Chains A and B, each alone.
Chain A
C-alpha cells in the first residue's frame, strides 16, 4: 500500500506569487485550467494501491482549500486530507511531525512532493526504479538535468554513474557542482523517519548546550526553542547527510519539469501541462466548434465561459469560469481568471488577468515572457528577481483581482494590485 504527501507551504511562503497569492493560496492557483495541486493528485490517483494523499502545510483552514479537497476527492475517487502544521516546520519537519499519520496502515513507501512544481510525475517509474536500486529501504530523489549556470539555483546531485547512488548533495551551491538537479519529488520508505528523528535529536541537544536557564535572553529565546529544533529541511539537513551512505538514489527524468515560483512560471507551466493534455486529458483542450472562436495551439476554456465567435485564442491560453470575451479579442500566452471580462478588440499577451477584472475596448495588456531559452534543452525558467540594477525587469503583466483597465490604453510589463481602477496607460511599473 502506498501514500503520497504534498507539501503545500503557507502564507509567508510564495511571496513571489503576489499579487495573485493575495486571493488564493498558491497551491490552488489554476494552471492549465485546474488548481496547481490537482495535477499532483491526478498523477497520484493513477498509481494502483494509492491509499491516500496527505496535504501538509501551515495555511489556516479556509473555504477554498476545503472546497478543493472535497471536490477532488469526489472527482478522482482518492482520499485526500489536510494536516495543518502549527508553524512552518520546513520540508522535513512537517512530515516528521505527522509521521504517525503517514505511517498509519503501514504503507511500504510514500511519495513526498512539493506543491510548487510542474511535472509529468513519473511516479510509477520511480517505484520501478526503487525496486531495482539499493535495498528495499532506499530513498529515491527525482532528478533532471539543468544547464550549468542555472543549476546553481537548485539542489545539486552528484550521482554514481553506474549505481545511481547519490554521492553528494548541495542545496544552491555558490560554484558549479553538478548539472543534475533536485525536482522536489521523492519516494521514501518508513526508514526516513529514523534519519529525520536523528537530526531532530541533534538539534535539541545543541539547544540544550547553548541554553542557560539563568540568562534572560535565553529565556526569551526559549519560547522559540522547540520550534527551532523541529524545523528540519529535507534538502540541507537530511540529503546532505544521507549522501554517500548507500541509502539515497537519484532517478533522472527528461520529461518536462519546472518550478512554479512566480506568475511568469505559471504561464510556462500552463504551456507544459496543456501540451500534456493531448495524452492525458484531450477533452480539456478546446477546438473550434461551429460558429465558435478561432483556436490556435493548446487552449483551455471552462464550459461556463462566454466567448464571441470573432475572438482568436491561443496558443497557451487558459480561460476560467464565467469569463466573458468580446468581439475581435486576441489572447495569447495568458491566463484569464474567473469572472474576468475582455471587451471588444482588446489584446492580452503574456499576462495574467485577475479574477473579476475588466479590460476595456481596444486596450492592450502585455507582458514579457520569461521562458527558458528554447535552444537549450536543459534551460530552466529563470528565478526572476523583480528588480535588476534598480529598474523593474520586464516580466509578465499581472492584473490582480477586480482591476479595471479603461478602453484604448496599454498596460505593459506592469503589476497591478487588486481593486485598482486605472485611468491611463502604464509601462514597467508596479501599481499599488
Chain B
C-alpha cells in the first residue's frame, strides 16, 4: 500500500524551530513528527511513502534515505515547484499512486493522534466508495471546517467552513484514504481539496466519514505542539506506561531519553519530554515542556509551558514560561525572567523578557 504525506513548505508557524530543521524532522516526544506517522503507516501495511514537499531540503532527503533502510520501505519525494494547494500534490504524484488498484492514504503532516490506519482500511473497503475522511470531535468547531454526515453509515452530506452557528462538532482530521480512481477528479493546478474536490465527491455519494477515537491535535504551532505533547503522553500512559519515567522527583507523565542526565533535587513533570543528551542540573523544576536534544538546563531554573531548542543553554535560576520557544543553540543568561519569548537560533539573551515578544 501507499501513502502520500502532505509536508508542504517552510513550516513557518513552528518557527524558530523550523529555521534549523525541516518541520517533519522536528522531534515530537523524542521522535521526528514524520516518523510517528510513517511508523504507524508501516504497521498498517504501507510499503511506499511519498512525501509531497514544496521546499526541498537536503536534510530531509538524507534522513529519508536512512529511514528507508531502517524500515525496509520505499520513500519518494514529490517536489512541487509552484504552489498546488491541498489537492494539486496528489495530481503531481499521480504516476506513483496509480500503479496499483489498492487504495492509498493521504495525511496532513502536522497531525498527531492514535493513528487508526487499519480501521480506516476496513471502514473504506466496507463502504466501497471512492473516499474516506477521518473526522474528530472538537470543542470549538467554528475555528475549523466542519463535516456534516449520516451517523449510521458515515455518508457525508456537506462541508461548512468556519460555521457561525453550530452545525456539527466534527471536523476534518487531516487523514484520508482514497481509491486511485478519484485522481481523475484532480488536475495539475492549484486546487483546494476541501473546497473543490470533496464537495463534488460528497454530492455523488462517494465520500464517507469515520470518527476518530482518542486524542487528536494539529501540532503545527508551539502552543498546540505542547498541548499535543500532553495528549500523546497521556496516551502512552494508557498503552505503554513502561516508556514513561517514574520515581521520586517525577510527577505525572514524563518521557526521558535514556541518554539524558538529571541532577539531584529536581522535580520534573507533569507532561515533560526530555530529549537525547539533555543535561538537567540540580534543583531544576520543569512542567509541561519539551526539551530538545543536547540542551543544558542549569541549576535551580524553573520552566513551564516552553520549548527548549537543540543545544540551548538555560542559565541558573532562570524562570521561563508562557509558551517561550528557544530556537537552536540559544543561550539564556543566569537569573533572567523569560515570559513568552520567541527566540531565533544562536541568540544570547542577557536581559529579562517580561512581556511576550520575538527576539531576533
For window 329-346 of chain B, which residues contact chain A by CB distance below 8 Å? 335, 337
**Contacting pair B302 A408 (CB below 8 A):** yes
**Contacting pair A412 B354 (CB below 8 A):** yes
A159 interfacial contact with B, CB 8 Å: no
**Contacting pair A364 B337 (CB below 8 A):** yes
Which A residues are in CB contact (< 8 Å) with B304?
408
Which B residues are in CB contact (< 8 Å) with A347?
300, 317, 319, 335
Which B residues are in CB contact (< 8 Å) with A327?
265, 283
Which A residues are in CB contact (< 8 Å) with B302?
345, 362, 364, 408
Which A residues are in CB contact (< 8 Å) with B354?
412, 427
For window 292-312 of chain B, which residues contact chain A by CB distance below 8 Å? 299-300, 302, 304
**Contact bitstring A380-410, B, C-beta under 8 A = 1, else 0:** 0000000000000000000000000000101
B48 interfacial contact with A, CB 8 Å: no
Report Cα–Cα, A280/B293, bound state, in Å. 53
**Contact bitstring B312-338, A, C-beta under 8 A = 1, else 0:** 000011010100000000000001010
Give chain B nearest CB distance to A315 CB in angstroms.
Answer: 12
B285 interfacial contact with A, CB 8 Å: yes
Chain B interface secondary structure, helix, strand, loop or mixed?
loop
**Contacting pair B337 A366 (CB below 8 A):** yes
B265, B299, B317: residue with the most chain A Cβ atoms closer than 10 Å: B317
B114 interfacial contact with A, CB 8 Å: no
Which B residues are in CB contact (< 8 Å) with A408?
285, 302, 304
Residues of A within 8 A of B (CB): 310, 327-328, 330, 332, 344-345, 347, 349, 361-362, 364, 366, 408, 410, 412, 427
Residues of B within 8 A of A (CB): 265, 282-283, 285, 299-300, 302, 304, 316-317, 319, 321, 335, 337, 354
Give chain B nearest CB distance to A233 CB in angstroms.
Answer: 42
**Contacting pair B335 A349 (CB below 8 A):** yes
The contact of B317 among A330, A361, A427, by CB within 8 Å, is: A330
A-B contact pairs, 23 of them (CB 8 A): A327-B283, A328-B265, A328-B282, A328-B283, A328-B300, A332-B335, A344-B265, A345-B283, A345-B302, A347-B300, A347-B317, A361-B285, A362-B302, A364-B337, A366-B337, A408-B285, A408-B302, A408-B304, A410-B319, A410-B337, A412-B337, A412-B354, A427-B354
**Contacting pair A345 B319 (CB below 8 A):** no
Report Cα–Cα, A361/B335, bound state, in Å. 15
Give chain A nearest CB distance to B265 CB in angstroms.
Answer: 7
Give chain B nearest CB distance to A129 CB in angstroms.
Answer: 45
Which B residues are in CB contact (< 8 Å) with A366?
337
Report Cα–Cα, A408/B321, bound state, in Å. 11
Which B residues are in CB contact (< 8 Å) with A345?
283, 285, 300, 302, 317
- Chain A residue nearest to B302 (CB atoms) is A362
Report Cα–Cα, A408/B265, bound state, in Å. 15
Give chain B nearest CB distance to A307 CB in angstroms.
Answer: 15
A310, A345, A362, A410: residue with the most chain B Cβ atoms closer than 10 Å: A345
Report Cα–Cα, A201/B68, bound state, in Å. 104
Which A residues are in CB contact (< 8 Å) with B300?
328, 330, 345, 347, 362
Which B residues are in CB contact (< 8 Å) with A349?
335
**Contacting pair A344 B335 (CB below 8 A):** no
Give chain B nearest CB distance to A368 CB in angstroms.
Answer: 9
**Contacting pair A362 B285 (CB below 8 A):** yes
